Structure 1
Amino acid sequence: MVVPRALAFDVFGTVVDWRSNIIAELQSFGTHHGLQRDWASFADAWRAGYAPAMDRVRRGELPWTRIDDLHREILIDLLDGVRVDEAEIDDLNRAWHRLTPWPDSVPGLHRLKQRFVITTLSNGNLSLLTNMAKNAGLPWDCIISAELFGHYKPDPEAYLGCAQLLDVAPDELMLVATHPSDLRAARACGLRTGYVVRPLEHGPGRPLPEVADGEFEVVARDFIDLARQLDA
């Protein structure tokens, strides 16, 4: 395998544990407001609303919309008329800015950073990714968001735009992600692919996505293993 010059990371699920963090924030919110809900299912529904909301933008039903704003619309629908102060809704929506990393993420990124340019390539908006990096100590060389291109992943413009901003050829850039669909779209654009297995992204006991043998150039159990395989 030709070693890439730069690594671009999907963030939600790959770098940070969105589900555990969102459930904890929702439980705290529910306790404060005396609300009884299945907060784990609520968190899953909040996340599940994200792809259909992006598709509304792609179809032209909505103008380009930041993920923060899509998240807020989904949250309001899920709260289903619960009377909550607007400032409290805004604060709960910013839970996505406060996500914490998987235990291996920060040490693994520090190792990888010694050899490669490391950046985000996420549908999260720039302010969200910046606040998350600040809060979680994520040592990115730069932060690249789909917001810069006006196209969400898996649109080709996001992958090719990332390579262009970094001044590398597509095959000099590796996308690192835990979502095979993201990696397949990147591969179709000529990027290299690194699959990191995150069995707990959707909670314990969930089946892993199906991946064919040899489908991705690197398959790693975590970021430390990824660094080892890339000689970082």
Structure 2
Amino acid sequence: MAIGPEAPAAPQRIVDAVLFDTFGTVVDWKSGVADAVEAIAYRYGFEVDAAEFALRWRARYQLSLEPIRSGAREFLTLDELHRENLIATAEEMGLPIERIEAADVEWLNRAWHRLDGWPDSVPGLTELKRHFIIGPLSNGHLALLTNMAKHAGLPWDVIIGSDVTRCYKPDRDAYLGAARLLDLPPHRVMLCAAHNSDLAAARSAGLRTAFVARPQEYGTTQQSDLHPTEAWDVIARDIRDLATQLRDHITA
């Protein structure tokens, strides 16, 4: 027979790890890339719409991943794909990239390593880190994500690059591979993203889901992902709000 009052039940978390889509969800890629394009254009005396260049560079991103997802092309990191897409975008926009020194082309290509977080990202992640394993579940590779974390002060517990899982979202194995690496069943892992399609793929793989809106990701004319399109497990205003909702669930 037990002696004394019954011990209170331990607080229950709905997940053990909260992983994040990174480009657009955690960091502002458009501003960072446009700033780098503008700096190079100024240095070399080129005329270019830096914001439009950033948008067109990014627009080639998913198209360049598809041959790798389908198995038609061997795995390449985002640095390699970004460089190919940079050259193609420069040709499309009439930017004479052949006149730019190789070191400056490399610096421009690595703009994706030097992106700043949204204002709520670091405080929200810091709060989440108190209760959950946090890290990126991104198509970025380990070096890129590590450099980005150092630049932006992102307090990850773990970084799982696409070069570790050897696949790109929304491939099912990208989500399941992250869960396996953390030794967690998929339902104990949550993906937070500003992109409904990413969350749909994560849910189909068995992960929990959280939506945060980033209506300025593509600038003032953005028309997609302004609102959640499904009843995700959590719908939050930003990462700080996500931290509050998940913390309140623990303490309720």
Q: TM-score, normalised by structure 2?
A: 0.88
**Where does structure 1 differ by over 4 angstroms across 4 or more consecutive aligned residues?**
none
Q: Secondary structure at the match of 1:24?
A: helix
What number of residue pairs does the alignment pair up?
231
- The match for 1:114 is 130
Cα deviation, residue 56, structure 1:
2.0
Matching residue of 1:69:
80
Match of 1:101 in 2: 117
Taking the TM superposition and a 5 Å limit, the aligned residue runs for 1:180-195 are 180-195=196-211
Q: Distance in 2 between matches of 1:207 and 1:54?
A: 23
Give runs of aligned pairs for residues 93-172 of structure 1, distance below 5 A. Answer: 93-172=109-188
DSSP-derived class of the 2:159 partner = strand
Aligned equivalent of 2:7: none
Q: In structure 2, what is the equivalent of residue 6 of structure 1?
A: 17
Structure-1 separation of matches of 2:157 and 2:108: 28
Offset of residue 205 of structure 1:
3.7
Query: Following superposition of structure 1 onto structure 2, how do residues 75-90 of structure 1 map, counting pairs within 5 Å?
Result: 75-80=86-91, 81-82=96-97, 83-90=99-106
Shift of residue 59, structure 1, vs aligned partner: 3.3
Question: Cα deviation per residue 1:172-191 (whole Å; 9 max; x = unaligned)?
Answer: 00000101110000000000
Structure 1 residue 61, shift from structure 2 partner: 3.8
Secondary structure of residue in 1 paired with 2:65: helix
Please say which of residues 218-227 and 202-211 is displaced more in the overlay: 202-211
What is the letter of the counterpart of residue 25 of structure 1? A
The answer as to 2:55 corresponding to 1:38 is no
- The RMSD of aligned alpha carbons is 1.5
Residue type of the partner of 1:127?
A
Q: Which runs of 5+ in 1 are unaligned?
A: none
1:40 Cα deviation after fit: 1.1
Correspondence 1:194-213 to 2 at 5 A: 194-209=210-225, 211-212=228-229
SS at match of 2:110: helix
Cα offset, 1:2, TM superposition: 6.4
Task: Find the residue that maps to 1:195 and give its secondary structure.
Answer: strand
- 1:21 aligned residue (28, 32, 38): 32
Q: Distance in 2 between the 1:124 and 1:75 partners?
A: 16
Cα distance between partner residues in 2 of 1:118 and 1:22: 25
Identity of matched residues, % = 48
- Once residues 239 and 71 of structure 2 are traced to their aligned partners in structure 1, the CA distance between those partners, rounded to angstroms, is 37
Contact 2:190–2:209 (Cα < 8 Å) also in 1: yes
CA distance in 1, matches of 2:166, 2:176: 13
Cα deviation, 1:121-147, whole Å, max 9, x if unaligned, reads 110111000000011111000101121
The answer to whether the 8 A contact 2:115-2:152 is kept is yes
Rg larger in structure = 2
Give secondary structure in 2 for the equivalent of 1:144: coil
- How far is the alpha carbon of 1:211 from its aligned partner? 3.2
